[in-house]
Structure 1
């Protein structure tokens, strides 16, 4: 099943430099835009998580590590996306690996000298003790010498993969306290057991502290760490993982921390354009900023972390979002069956705003515009999570199945610029939706969401314009008197259809109305600044 967007990915929620890279990846690889945006955001998070913490409530500052999960088919160019977004991270890690090898040689030399001196002191103390001589001075020298034991410099590594949960904790404790568990073949991570201890991952996500115990290796305690998880995984692999360990993943609240997406596939539509925008190749500004941030880790000590705080208006906006989500947690609310994920949304929003603010190099407090963008993005992922993991109404399931069918067959209607008779659309709809009157109700909901236009003709028939699925073709002439993408003048059920449109308007359950208002989900209007 492909999972539809609520209102398309909110590209305008990204800050300028991140948006440029997301568009660049999208135009270069023709991957679904949400995948490109997540790649860009993951790169920012990996570069900033060791440099900042965020504070927005009366609580200790939080790490800004994130968990990005992208479910996508093989062939969606996941690797190609990451080759662009994580280019500088891999260059950095490669350079650190070389330095680490040089450090190991130097450390071995210094350690050998230190060991030789220690053995000499111990021998002298032993000889003195055998003669019943005073060895206090030698013992003091040994104590001072032990304080000078050579320690190999800790070299940062941005990316780790193919690793178990205890090894993750050991890496954060012994190698470097900031890291990213990253893979464009997420099945490697899922099968390695890296997420087999969700309580530890949750604890590190919450506060930066975590504990893992393993027989034979003892207890590993992690303090002050930050871990970002970014996995791109094929649907069958994720399903297998959830069947095997899904109850633990959901029950522990680990999946509640995810920014999840499963965008519709672009395969079959990724045609090479003969026109190349000369202003498109501006991704270097993103890579330059990544290099600037990564350079702050290349030092003998851990970088000092700034505490990012919010302006008064930004904090009020976050509180509004928190309240808006809270309303939907009650029985009958939109997020009642996914209360864990919804409850974590404000925290994810605060972290994302801090990351984007720091990445743009902005000084001072985080402002309301950045928070507004973060709200749009987190709410979009929340809707994606709901579609994938929460029980849906029958109407929602029918909409998803019809959208999947349209995507599968949309090439048939390219010659008509996406204009399709209702009976023709029913012919290719899922079997249970082929009754034209039943299909019309599903089509109306898609029109209200802004994903197609529908109008009737004399005689009782109706047609649609699939402008969302066939954007590269000239749209059909916009019918007169269109409201919410709907016009019905002759249909026998005209009154019922218009009543549904009016209900949608009254409930404000559409993504955007004619006045340009935006909606995070049905009934939740996004404030204007």
Structure 2
């Protein structure tokens, strides 16, 4: 079964840093490229693994879907997040694996520029003709004369409008959601939203509309309504999202928008990792690094990019559908049911139902991507599915460490403390506890929840309780590290004590 069986596989995994990584040895092309990058860059393996899977997802998502044993056909797009601080070589890792895609895209964009120059001349000429007809219609209308002939000419002109050549644009880096979705509508409907410094994406507008991010991950059509321009619909689009962010940036995002993003199911769709740092162990050798396996990896990426380019030029929308063989299908069903059983009260996924409900979907996508990228024939085999399970289990463990019960408590502390910061920044030091119950964030207006979070903040030295003489109410010192509370209580006149909200 999913969790029990995989705990028995740990002896087959390699230990790098503090993390146990699943073996990918049965995928020689991918495994060799990751190992080579690990040796040469000496970055955390989780970052390298994410970058490699990002590249594979980007090049395959537009030409391959996966049919699950329950009959549903799903995209193969992945969403990935790696949390790592400055100095972990995030940009270097990303560039190694995405460089072939960027080079291929640049070459195609250069070629289409020539076509766009020709189009621009034709379009300007067409606009001159169109404006001339519109002026003729306006002139007759001003005199109350019919303009039937001119309207026929205008209709014919509209049908002759030159079509702007589309770009084979695959990667969008630190893009807003508006630019991303419109670019996918105007050009290639398959894309990767990439950022090695993902704070700009998280803090920007790319994740403003979480429902659209979730819908496009599921392969659903989305409609983009715009106030100042024509609205449009994205049909059959595929999007890979890959972010690398610093711990502080991610914590800040979760404090402000964590509840909303978790509630929407966004993070449940992500393969998330927070690998141990390799800083302090990255020693330099005397020989120049070799990139033989990375060259082979790049060649494989280019093979699928060429296939995607052919589909793009021929306007081919249908994708190859990858299936599971009979043995793999049986295992898939067992794993799906086992995961479901772990979501119940007391199970390892208790409180993480959003994550559990997406796990088998993620496993299916990983299996299809690994199968196709390595060039395996026929349907997805049981061994490939098992490797995908191992990989998904590793990411699931990372998710549980990040969002499990202990993490939930940490998120609650951060969220409430962030709200209290709004008073600290205005110079207010004291607040009545009941004020939080009345006006604080919604989840903390329940006394039992608030009590637990406040006690944890007290234990961490972020706040302190006290009573004002002659007053039964409980007050909170927002800056206990400043000291002097007893003195202020003894001479509250002339202090800002009574200026705090709720007091």
Q: Under a length normalisation based on structure 2, what TM-score does the superposition of the two structures give? A: 0.71
**1:221–1:131 distance in 2 versus 1, CA, 3 Å:** closer
Aligned match of 1:375: 389
Aligned match of 1:297: 308
State the secondary structure of the residue aligned to 1:286. helix
**1:73–1:40 distance in 2 versus 1, CA, 3 Å:** same
Alignment partners' CA distance in 2, 1:319 and 1:202: 24
Alignment partners' CA distance in 1, 2:322 and 2:276: 35
Alignment partners' CA distance in 1, 2:77 and 2:26: 18
Q: How many residues align?
A: 389
Aligned match of 1:495: none
Alignment partners' CA distance in 1, 2:146 and 2:208: 58
**1:362–1:149 distance in 2 versus 1, CA, 3 Å:** farther
1:199 Cα shift?
A: 0.8
Aligned match of 1:523: none
Given that 2:109 and 2:168 are in contact with CA atoms closer than 8 Å, whether structure 1 keeps it comes out as no
1:249 and 2:258 matched = no
- Cα offsets for 1:297-351 (capped at 9, x unmatched): 3353444421112111122222122122112111000011211112101101111
Alignment partners' CA distance in 2, 1:74 and 1:172: 31
Where in structure 2 are the equivalents of 1:100-179 lying within 5 Å?
Answer: 100-118=112-130, 142-179=154-191
Aligned match of 1:362: 376
- Cα offsets for 1:236-262 (capped at 9, x unmatched): 011111111111110000000010000
Name the stretch that deviates more: 225-234 or 192-201: 192-201
Alignment partners' CA distance in 1, 2:62 and 2:377: 17
State the secondary structure of the residue aligned to 1:160. strand
Alignment partners' CA distance in 2, 1:194 and 1:7: 31
- Cα offsets for 1:442-466 (capped at 9, x unmatched): xxxxxxxxxxxxxxxxxxxxxxxxx
Given that 1:118 and 1:142 are in contact with CA atoms closer than 8 Å, whether structure 2 keeps it comes out as yes
Alignment partners' CA distance in 2, 1:269 and 1:360: 32
Aligned match of 2:338: 324
Name the stretch that deviates more: 159-168 or 242-251: 159-168
**1:126–1:332 distance in 2 versus 1, CA, 3 Å:** closer
1:63 Cα shift?
A: 1.6
Alignment partners' CA distance in 2, 1:161 and 1:391: 34
RMSD: 3.0
Alignment partners' CA distance in 2, 1:368 and 1:377: 14
Aligned match of 2:454: none
Aligned match of 1:17: 29
Given that 1:169 and 1:211 are in contact with CA atoms closer than 8 Å, whether structure 2 keeps it comes out as no
Counterpart among 282, 290, 294 of residue 293 in structure 2: 282
Alignment partners' CA distance in 2, 1:370 and 1:271: 35
Given that 1:19 and 1:37 are in contact with CA atoms closer than 8 Å, whether structure 2 keeps it comes out as no
**1:110–1:354 distance in 2 versus 1, CA, 3 Å:** same
1:229 Cα shift?
A: 0.5
1:239 and 2:251 matched = yes
State the secondary structure of the residue aligned to 2:106. helix
- Cα offsets for 1:113-151 (capped at 9, x unmatched): 333444566678899999999966x76565444223111
Counterpart among 65, 68, 79 of residue 77 in structure 2: 65
Alignment partners' CA distance in 2, 1:86 and 1:248: 31
Alignment partners' CA distance in 2, 1:109 and 1:327: 63
1:108 Cα shift?
A: 0.8
State the secondary structure of the residue aligned to 1:76. coil
Alignment partners' CA distance in 1, 2:110 and 2:288: 38
Where in structure 2 are the equivalents of 1:331-342 lying within 5 Å?
Answer: 331-342=345-356
Aligned match of 1:417: none
Alignment partners' CA distance in 2, 1:307 and 1:390: 35
Given that 2:17 and 2:44 are in contact with CA atoms closer than 8 Å, whether structure 1 keeps it comes out as no
**1:14–1:235 distance in 2 versus 1, CA, 3 Å:** farther
Aligned match of 1:96: 108
State the secondary structure of the residue aligned to 2:206. coil
Given that 2:75 and 2:218 are in contact with CA atoms closer than 8 Å, whether structure 1 keeps it comes out as yes
Aligned match of 1:52: 64
1:77 and 2:89 matched = yes
- Cα offsets for 1:442-500 (capped at 9, x unmatched): xxxxxxxxxxxxxxxxxxxxxxxxxxxxxxxxxxxxxxxxxxxxxxxxxxxxxxxxxxx
Aligned match of 1:471: none
Given that 2:40 and 2:289 are in contact with CA atoms closer than 8 Å, whether structure 1 keeps it comes out as no
**1:207–1:6 distance in 2 versus 1, CA, 3 Å:** farther
State the secondary structure of the residue aligned to 1:62. strand
Q: Under a length normalisation based on structure 1, what TM-score does the superposition of the two structures give? A: 0.67
Alignment partners' CA distance in 2, 1:180 and 1:113: 36
Name the stretch that deviates more: 5-14 or 39-48: 5-14
Aligned match of 1:460: none
Given that 1:153 and 1:300 are in contact with CA atoms closer than 8 Å, whether structure 2 keeps it comes out as no
Aligned match of 1:211: 223
1:70 Cα shift?
A: 0.2
1:10 Cα shift?
A: 0.5
- Cα offsets for 1:25-81 (capped at 9, x unmatched): 101101122221111111110111111111114455222111100001211111111
Unaligned runs of 5+ in 2: 1-15, 408-503
**1:264–1:141 distance in 2 versus 1, CA, 3 Å:** same
